[in-house]
Amino acid sequence: MSQQSFRELGVSSHVVDALAARSLLEPFAIQAAVLPDALAGLDVLAKSPTGSGKTLAFGIPIVERTGPDDRRPGALVLVPTRELARQVAADLVAIAPKALSVVAVHGGVPLPAQAKRARSAHILVATPGRLQDLLDRGLVDLGAVRILVLDEADRMLDMGFKPQVDRIVRRLARNRQTMFFSATLDGEVRELARRYTSNPVSVEASLPTERESGEITHSFVPVTHDTKIETLVEHLRGASGRTLVFVRTKRGADQLVRKLARHEIDAVSMHGDLSQPRRQRALDRFERERNGVLVATDVAARGLDIEHVAQVINYDPPAEHKEYVHRTGRTGRAGKSGTAVTFVLPDQQAETGRVAIHLGHREQFEGSGLRPARPRLVYSGRRRSRSKW
């Protein structure tokens, strides 16, 4: 059975035409699964990985169910980072009628002017911290919000936004529509979803299809402290396309940019200490350059949706598998292939090996001459047995 088109799923002609103008002719799996119920006004609980097309899965229903004459703001999307707020807002503007106004609310910009725009917006896309600030000052009223979306809910919890999210949700009407999107739906995330939604339709997005996501080649490179920067330089000089380099700390991002400059490689950094204008300039510059290099921390890169990232390099390997998936998901999008490279110091083999094996990359890890940690010996009385991973 062939997949339904956007029009067959109930999307209006205006939005279908706006999608076609962006070369979006067929819905992704998450969109096809969510749209019928979301357009009908039902609550939705969706497990959706990064890059699955979830923004339009909730963006289309918001645009379709919000009218220009409705009280404002009528729809609210909560996201974990300012970059994601700007990107989601831009995606909504691209499909919304001109009569609907969309405003991104986040830190790093003057408060009074932002509050004025927020009050008159039909749709708010906001980070919890800045929105809570506006609410505490009485600068925004959420009494008319009929649609709430929590995007990347697991990230918001990881970043400590649960208290602000709770306070914001308590200000909203109970008879609203709530759409909850998260890469994981266990533990605290599931409890949060249970409290915020009412009889939700549960959807789990499968991994992106070949049409939706290109193939990512994973590799692990053994390095030492003495060879690490030279190895990075070699990878960057041999790259054909944009490269996103991940480090663990803000200081490390700035230091690495300076080291690369000494090797005549022009790179820009992105981390939480940069002002919003500087962060945006870094992004703009990275996107302008065909072989641009962006050095970022995990927090700064959350929610980034940059087109045509040819390779992701984990200069500092991630400590756990969720971060690995998040980082490497920045490449291999929209049917394009990508490369994910992880540098591994001798004392990082055990930790990185566990991540690699958990994600099914044992062959690539061991094929580079690396060895994961040996299973621990567990004493069981008369004999010792090997524990499993």
Full-model pTM? 0.67
Mean pLDDT of 219-245: 92
Residue whose entry in the numeric block shows the structure tokens 């509050």: 115
User: What is residue 227's predicted lDDT score, i.e. its pLDDT?
Assistant: 95
Work out the pLDDT band at 321, boundaries 50, 70, 90.
confident
Task: Give percent above pLDDT 90 in the chain.
Answer: 59
* Cα 39 to chain centroid, rounded: 24
Structural domains of the chain, ranges and CATH numbers in brackets: 13-204 (3.40.50.300), 216-367 (3.40.50.300)
How confident is the prediction for the chain on average, in pLDDT? 87
pLDDT in tens, 175-224: 999 999 998 888 888 889 999 999 999 998 754 444 444 588 999 999 99
User: What is residue 24's predicted lDDT score, i.e. its pLDDT?
Assistant: 87
Reading the block at residue 173, the tokens are 């009407």
Stretch among 45-49, 121-125, 349-353 having the lowest mean pLDDT? 45-49
Cis peptide before 163 (omega within 30 of 0): no
d(CA 246, CA 352): 15
What is the 8-class DSSP label of residue 333?
B
Work out the pLDDT band at 371, boundaries 50, 70, 90.
confident
Higher pLDDT, 93 or 212: 93
User: What is residue 289's predicted lDDT score, i.e. its pLDDT?
Assistant: 84
Total residue length of the chain? 389
User: What is residue 262's predicted lDDT score, i.e. its pLDDT?
Assistant: 95
Asked whether the predicted pLDDT for residue 240 surpasses 90, the reply is no
User: What is residue 215's predicted lDDT score, i.e. its pLDDT?
Assistant: 80
User: What is residue 282's predicted lDDT score, i.e. its pLDDT?
Assistant: 84
The 3-state DSSP composition of the chain as helix, strand, coil percent (nearest 5) reads 40, 20, 40
Asked whether the predicted pLDDT for residue 2 surpasses 60, the reply is no
pLDDT in tens, 258-316: 999 999 999 999 887 777 778 778 888 888 888 899 999 886 666 566 767 889 999 99
User: What is residue 283's predicted lDDT score, i.e. its pLDDT?
Assistant: 83
Mean pLDDT of 348-365: 91
User: What is residue 1's predicted lDDT score, i.e. its pLDDT?
Assistant: 42
d(CA 40, CA 65): 9
Higher pLDDT, 17 or 216: 17
From residue 218, give the alpha-carbon distance in Å to each of 52, 304, 306, 337.
19, 20, 19, 11
DSSP string, 114-139: HHHHHHT-SEEEE-HHHHHHHHHTT-
